[in-house]
């Protein structure tokens, strides 16, 4: 198997990296500015990510084959203010553009919220797509739902894949089923008491339920105060108290449960406070989706290699 070098930008706690490491990829550079995400990344990967991406010249980034970036989604999300490029974080896409221009990797994977495609009447996505095309990349994009790739979390995200060569690529097909919540949730008897709701809050939420409640379930209270009980989780979010998720109507999700809902193995170490785990888990990616895309990308790159070698041989004969 050919070893491809990756860089991990806006790395969070390394979810995208894990998906590509499953195919033997070697990461040669990472960048993440949040100190808690940095700490968790370091304890699990043995390296502390570089800080602010604005503080490094694209030319100083190591050569690599695949650029990975879950660039900040809040400027484009429904939960955020939707400012797009008017938000400083929204302009971080142009850092990605500069690195692609300077280093010319064979491929890239970008991840963001579903709303990126419709933000500013589609103009934001058009700018992104045009910039990538002008750099010579063939670009593919698709919205995929975590529920369709084995995890009980309804999380729709857009995935943008690009190749410097005009390679054939197909996004992975959904597997059409997801793991039972019972395999994700910890037993209540091992969960600390401070995770459980008061009797008053439990009564309040129960009174808002009008349909039969599945068991186990995760209860979701939206911004209007409506409560729904589902056999899967709504999308984890970095913030937004309105998106309050409650296990079986009685307690908060634990940090381990949140990581499991994103596909992180139980061996992935947690070394930061609960409030920060909630943030980094909400900012992270769903690893099974990334792993499926990575497999398709690696397959496209591997299939291209013989053709490129053949073209080189023919040019030498001319």
Q: Is residue 104 packed enough to be buried (19+ CB in 10 Å), middle (13-18) or exposed (0-12)?
A: middle
**What pLDDT, on the 0 to 100 scale, is given for residue 244?**
72
Alpha-carbon dihedral angle through residues 229, 235, 238, 239, given to the nearest 10 degrees? -40
Q: Locate all alpha helices (DSSP H) within the chain, ordered by sequence.
A: 15-21, 35-45, 93-103, 123-134, 199-208, 255-261, 274-283, 287-317
Alpha-carbon dihedral angle through residues 200, 202, 208, 210, given to the nearest 10 degrees? -140
Q: Which domains are seen in the chain, by residue range?
A: 5-175+285-317 (3.40.50.150), 181-281 (3.90.120)
**What pLDDT, on the 0 to 100 scale, is given for residue 223?**
75
Q: Which of 139, 175, 173 is nearest to 293 (CA)?
A: 173
Q: Active-site residues: which are they?
A: 73
Q: Which of 53, 60, 59, 123 is nearest to 92 (CA)?
A: 53
Residue 310: CB atoms within 10 Å: 10
Does residue 49 contact residue 31 with C-beta atoms inside 8 Å? yes
Name the one residue in this structure whose structure tokens are 């397959």. Answer: 299
Residue 192: CB atoms within 10 Å: 9
**What pLDDT, on the 0 to 100 scale, is given for residue 79?**
44
Tens digit of each residue's pLDDT, the chain (318 residues): 689 999 999 999 999 999 999 999 999 999 999 999 999 999 999 999 999 999 999 999 999 999 999 987 544 444 444 444 444 344 788 899 999 999 999 999 999 989 888 877 888 898 899 999 999 999 999 999 999 999 999 999 999 999 999 999 999 999 989 999 999 999 999 999 999 999 998 888 888 887 789 999 999 987 777 889 999 999 998 865 545 789 999 999 999 999 999 999 999 999 999 999 999 999 999 999 999 999 999 999 999 865 444 433 433 334
Residue 215: CB atoms within 10 Å: 11
For β-strands 66-69 and 107-113, DSSP reports them as parallel
The CA-CA-CA angle for residues 17, 20, 23, to 5°, reads 145
- DSSP secondary structure code for residue 119 in this structure: G
Residue 312 neighbours by CB under 8 Å, 6+ apart: none
């Amino acid at each position: 198997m050919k070893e491809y070098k990756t860089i991990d930008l806006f790395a969070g706690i390394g979810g995208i990296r894990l998906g590509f490491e499953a195919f033997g990829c070697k990461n040669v550079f990472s960048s993440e500015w949040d100190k808690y995400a940095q700490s968790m990344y370091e304890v699990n990967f043995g390296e502390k990510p570089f800080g602010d991406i604005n503080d490094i010249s694209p030319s100083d980034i190591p050569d690599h084959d695949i650029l990975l970036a879950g660039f900040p989604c809040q400027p484009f999300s429904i939960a955020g203010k939707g400012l797009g490029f008017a938000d400083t974080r929204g302009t971080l896409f142009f850092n990605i553009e500069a690195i692609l221009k300077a280093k010319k990797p064979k491929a890239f994977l970008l991840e963001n919220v579903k709303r990126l495609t419709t933000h500013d009447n589609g103009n934001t996505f058009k700018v992104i797509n045009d910039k990538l095309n002008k750099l010579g990349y063939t670009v593919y994009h698709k919205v995929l739902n975590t529920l369709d790739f084995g995890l009980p979390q309804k999380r729709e995200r857009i995935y943008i894949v690009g190749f410097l060569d005009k390679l054939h690529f197909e996004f992975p097909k959904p597997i059409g089923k997801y793991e039972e919540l019972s395999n994700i949730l910890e037993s209540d008897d091992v969960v600390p008491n401070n995770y459980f709701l008061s009797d008053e809050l439990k009564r309040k939420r129960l009174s808002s339920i009008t349909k039969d409640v599945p068991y186990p379930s995760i209860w979701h209270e939206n911004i209007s105060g409506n409560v729904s009980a589902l056999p899967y989780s709504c999308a984890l979010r970095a913030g937004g108290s309105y998106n309050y998720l409650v296990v079986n109507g009685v307690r908060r999700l634990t940090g381990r449960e949140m990581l499991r809902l994103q596909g992180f193995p139980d061996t992935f170490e947690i070394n930061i406070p609960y409030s920060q785990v909630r943030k980094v888990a909400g900012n992270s990616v769903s690893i099974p989706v990334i792993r499926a895309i990575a497999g398709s990308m690696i397959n496209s790159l591997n299939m291209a290699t013989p053709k490129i070698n053949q073209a080189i041989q023919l040019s030498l004969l001319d």
